[in-house]
């Protein structure tokens, strides 16, 4: 067989089979078992399926793989078979999706809350400062966004100690992997259909994934609300993007409506008409769909910041608006977890209860005794800066040293971070397939539910869950590479 030790981060996507709580036989999160004689054959079949169905990413070993489509392709990393996933958590996460969508919107309307909560972060984090500057310019202009489109993803892990579904974070910009996640669910369904008897599984038990159809529909409906037949959906992309095929699933679904541009291109080619219409190459832009712009690396020069401001000043529908983007920061997540803060934004008592139930422990570093606890037991915490895209968090010894240094300096830099309770999900064995070979390893999973929210003034047009993403990684990564906090996981470019 092609067994090899885990090199670097093995992260795969899996499709879930929803197991009922009653059917719980101790394999609640287990990847479904494959007879060992069948594994090689299944892996080969899966690799062929990926190649023939676009379940691919750019190969980092190929110099042009992120720049042009069709060169240097590699199958996306995946778990060989679906995971069983307890129904109670699934349903809980589905129920939460529209609540978080509404919460994001309500918080986004409170400009002062965003500015004040991020005020100290702004002093020490130049990236957050630039975003806040654009936001305060819009506040000064009293800019109103009549039509708001949010394509979100709320990520969760199950805490093994308490059996609670806890939110890892809420993404409001560039929520990715909707395409790959749909592909993996199809892959698993096909494998199971083909080997139904040997595997003893029903292919229909693999939960279908609607992420692409629903996100594409939300974009198309927003486009229709903008009400200009000649307008386009502008997809904002990075100049180099090895995950372009994930994005193409959605742009292909909207084909004739979309154009892809980098921030630099938008700056060079974009214009605002006096009525606020954003025009690119003569085409008015109905919707700006960001699949870039969430990280400092996306703004290598002032040109990109000018593009972001141009977009924000325009009458195009922004997915997300600058306010929706800011609501997704870790600092806002931490503030919302404070006592009595949710009550400012949600009315219904049971909604507030349900949202609060999924909050893990979250603290600012101004709380002295929690910093002491984290220095004492760093393995129980995660230290997070205001960043997106994976690979930015600090764990273990590195966490302790960082806190000690920040405290000694007495610097304001502590305001750049938040502390979070470390979640320890249950582990289970799984086959992870990457770069054409598989490893059997103990894994943990993170479960995301996509959401869509579209409103035009007082009318909520869409507020729904939109399919799922189940990511699986070797459990050893928690103590190994990830715990050192360096090197972004090569496959978690997800926001
Ligand atoms: P990003 O916006 O960069 O994706 P996340 O908050 O999702 O930031 O953190 C990145 C990864 O770190 C997550 O996908 C998860 O694997 C891990 N992680 C984050 N928070 C926790 C936590 N509280 N406990 C355990 N792991 C976590
Ligand atoms: Mg994120
Ligand atoms: Mg994340």
HEC profile of 143-176: CCCCEEEEEEEEEEEEECCCCEEEEEEEECCCCC
ipTM of this complex > 0.90?
yes
Ligand 1 atom closest to the Cα of residue 360 is: 23
Backbone angles phi, psi at 409, to 5 degrees: -65, -20
pLDDT score for 474: 82
**Residue 260 confidence (pLDDT) above 70:** yes
pLDDT score for 484: 26
Neighbours of 160 (CB within 10 A): 14
What DSSP character marks residue 295? S
CA-CA-CA-CA dihedral for 102, 107, 276, 119, to nearest 10: -160
CA distance 123 to 411: 11
Mean pLDDT of 344-373: 96
Structure tokens at 247: 């994005």
How far apart, in Å, are the Cα atoms of 214 and each of 252, 301, 327? 14, 35, 22
Query: Is 445 a catalytic site residue?
Result: no
The alpha carbon of 99 is separated from its chain's Cα centroid by a whole number of angstroms, namely 17
pLDDT score for 30: 65
Structure tokens at 325: 């983007």
Ligand 1 atom closest to the Cα of residue 420 is: 23
Cα dihedral sign for 153, 168, 54, 488?
positive
How far apart, in Å, are the Cα atoms of 265 and each of 47, 102, 157, 259, 350? 36, 33, 38, 11, 47
Residues 6+ apart with CB under 8 A from 252: none
CB of 295 closer than 6 A to ligand 1? no
Name the catalytic one among 102, 169, 217, 335. Answer: 169
CA distance 36 to 382: 37
Could you tell me the pLDDT band of residue 481, with boundaries at 50, 70 and 90?
very low
243-254: pLDDT as tens digits = 999 999 999 999
**Residue 185 confidence (pLDDT) above 60:** yes
pLDDT score for 235: 98
Backbone angles phi, psi at 191, to 5 degrees: -60, -45
Mean pLDDT of 79-104: 93
Q: Across the chain, what does the average pLDDT equal?
A: 89
Could you tell me the pLDDT band of residue 169, with boundaries at 50, 70 and 90?
very high
pLDDT score for 9: 36
Mean pLDDT of 58-66: 95
197-227: pLDDT as tens digits = 998 888 888 889 999 999 999 999 999 999 9
Mean pLDDT of 15-29: 53
Residue 20 burial class via C-beta count within 10 angstroms: exposed 0-12, middle 13-18, buried 19 and up: exposed
Mean pLDDT of 10-20: 61
Q: Annotated binding residue at 87?
A: no
Q: Annotated binding residue at 389?
A: yes
Query: Is 331 a catalytic site residue?
Result: no
pLDDT score for 85: 83
Q: How many residues does the chain have?
A: 495
The owner of tokens 């409506």 is 257
Q: Annotated binding residue at 156?
A: no
pLDDT score for 105: 98
Name the catalytic one among 72, 388, 396, 434. Answer: 388
- Cis check for the bond before 320: say yes or no (omega within 30 of 0): yes
Query: Is 169 a catalytic site residue?
Result: yes
Q: Annotated binding residue at 471?
A: yes
Name the catalytic one among 28, 261, 384, 481. Answer: 384
Could you tell me the pLDDT band of residue 18, with boundaries at 50, 70 and 90?
low
pLDDT score for 479: 31
Testing ligand 1's pocket by substitution, the residue of 383, 390, 425 carrying the most ligand atoms inside 8 A of its CB is 390
CA distance 452 to 401: 40
What residues does each domain of the chain span?
11-360+423-484, 361-422
**Residue 495 confidence (pLDDT) above 50:** no
Could you tell me the pLDDT band of residue 27, with boundaries at 50, 70 and 90?
very low
3-state secondary structure of 201: coil
Residues 6+ apart with CB under 8 A from 263: 236, 292, 293, 298, 299, 303, 304, 307, 308
The owner of tokens 């409103």 is 455
Cite the DSSP H helix spans in 377-480.
396-409
Q: Is 410 left (phi over 0), alpha (psi -120 to 50) or beta?
A: left
Query: Is 65 a catalytic site residue?
Result: no
Structure tokens at 97: 């999706």
Dist. CA 220 → ligand 1 center (Å): 31
What DSSP character marks residue 205? G
- Percent above pLDDT 90 for the chain: 76
CA distance 272 to 293: 20
The alpha carbon of 63 is separated from its chain's Cα centroid by a whole number of angstroms, namely 26
Q: Which ligand is nearest to the CA of 158?
A: 1
Testing ligand 1's pocket by substitution, the residue of 168, 448, 482, 493 carrying the most ligand atoms inside 8 A of its CB is 168
Helix then strand count (H, E) for the chain reads 17, 20
Mean pLDDT of 323-350: 98
CB of 393 closer than 6 A to ligand 1? yes
291-322: pLDDT as tens digits = 999 999 999 999 999 999 999 999 999 999 99
Angle at 74 between CA 16 and CA 181, to 5 degrees: 25
Homologous superfamily of the 361-422 domain (CATH): Glutathione synthase lid domain (3.30.1490.50)
pLDDT score for 138: 98
CB of 246 closer than 6 A to ligand 1? no
Q: Annotated binding residue at 247?
A: yes
- Percent above pLDDT 70 for the chain: 90
**Residue 1 confidence (pLDDT) above 70:** no
**Residue 228 confidence (pLDDT) above 90:** yes
Of all protein residues, whose CA lies closest to atom 11 belonging to ligand 1?
A: 390
Of residues 172 and 6, more confidently modeled: 172
373-429: pLDDT as tens digits = 999 999 999 999 999 988 899 999 999 999 999 988 777 888 999 999 999 999 888
**Residue 110 confidence (pLDDT) above 80:** yes
Name the catalytic one among 28, 261, 434, 471. Answer: 471
CA distance 14 to 21: 20
CA distance 420 to 350: 25
């Amino acid at each position: 067989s092609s067994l090899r030790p885990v090199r670097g981060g093995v992260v795969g996507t899996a499709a879930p089979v929803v197991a009922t709580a009653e059917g719980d036989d101790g394999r609640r999160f287990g990847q479904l078992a494959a007879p060992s004689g069948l594994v090689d054959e299944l892996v080969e079949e899966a690799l062929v399926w990926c190649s023939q169905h676009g379940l691919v990413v750019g190969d980092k070993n190929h110099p042009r793989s992120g720049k042009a489509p069709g060169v240097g392709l590699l199958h996306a990393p995946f778990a060989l078979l679906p995971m069983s996933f307890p129904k109670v958590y699934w349903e809980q996460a589905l129920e939460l999706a529209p609540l978080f969508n509404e919460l994001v919107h309500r918080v986004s309307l409170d400009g002062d809350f965003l500015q004040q909560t991020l005020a100290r972060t702004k002093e020490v984090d130049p990236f957050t400062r630039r975003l806040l500057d654009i936001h305060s310019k819009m506040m000064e202009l009293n800019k109103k966004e009549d039509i708001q489109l949010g394509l979100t993803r709320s990520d969760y892990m199950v805490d093994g100690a308490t059996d609670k579904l806890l939110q890892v974070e809420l993404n409001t910009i560039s929520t990715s992997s909707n395409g790959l996640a749909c592909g993996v669910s199809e892959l698993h369904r096909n494998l199971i259909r083909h080997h139904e008897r040997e595997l003893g599984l029903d292919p229909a038990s693999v939960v279908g994934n609607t992420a692409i159809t629903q996100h594409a529909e939300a974009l198309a409906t927003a486009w229709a609300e903008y009400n200009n037949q000649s307008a386009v959906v502008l997809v904002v992309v990075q100049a180099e993007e090895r995950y372009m095929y994930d994005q193409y699933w959605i742009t292909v679904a909207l084909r004739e409506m979309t154009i892809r541009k980098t921030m630099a291109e938008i700056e060079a080619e974009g214009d605002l008409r006096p009525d606020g219409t954003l025009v690119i190459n003569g085409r008015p832009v109905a919707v700006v769909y960001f699949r870039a712009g969430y990280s400092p690396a996306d703004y290598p020069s002032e040109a990109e910041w000018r593009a972001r401001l141009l977009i924000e000043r325009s009458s195009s529908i922004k997915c997300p608006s600058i306010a929706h983007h800011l609501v997704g920061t870790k600092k806002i997540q931490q503030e919302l977890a404070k006592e009595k803060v949710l009550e400012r934004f949600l009315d219904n008592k049971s909604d507030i209860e349900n949202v609060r139930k999924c909050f893990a422990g979250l603290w600012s570093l101004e709380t002295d005794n929690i910093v002491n606890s984290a220095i004492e037991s760093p393995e129980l915490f995660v230290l997070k800066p205001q960043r997106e895209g994976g690979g930015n968090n600090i764990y273990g010894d590195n966490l302790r040293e960082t806190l000690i240094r920040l405290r000694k300096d007495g610097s304001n830099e502590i305001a750049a971070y938040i502390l979070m309770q470390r979640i320890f999900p249950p582990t289970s064995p799984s086959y992870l397939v990457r770069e054409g070979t598989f490893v059997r390893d103990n894994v943990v999973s993170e479960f995301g539910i996509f959401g869509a929210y579209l409103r035009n003034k007082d009318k909520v047009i869409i507020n729904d869950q939109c399919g799922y993403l189940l990511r699986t990684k070797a459990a050893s990564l928690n103590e190994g590479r990830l715990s050192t906090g360096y090197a972004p996981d090569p496959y978690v470019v997800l926001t």
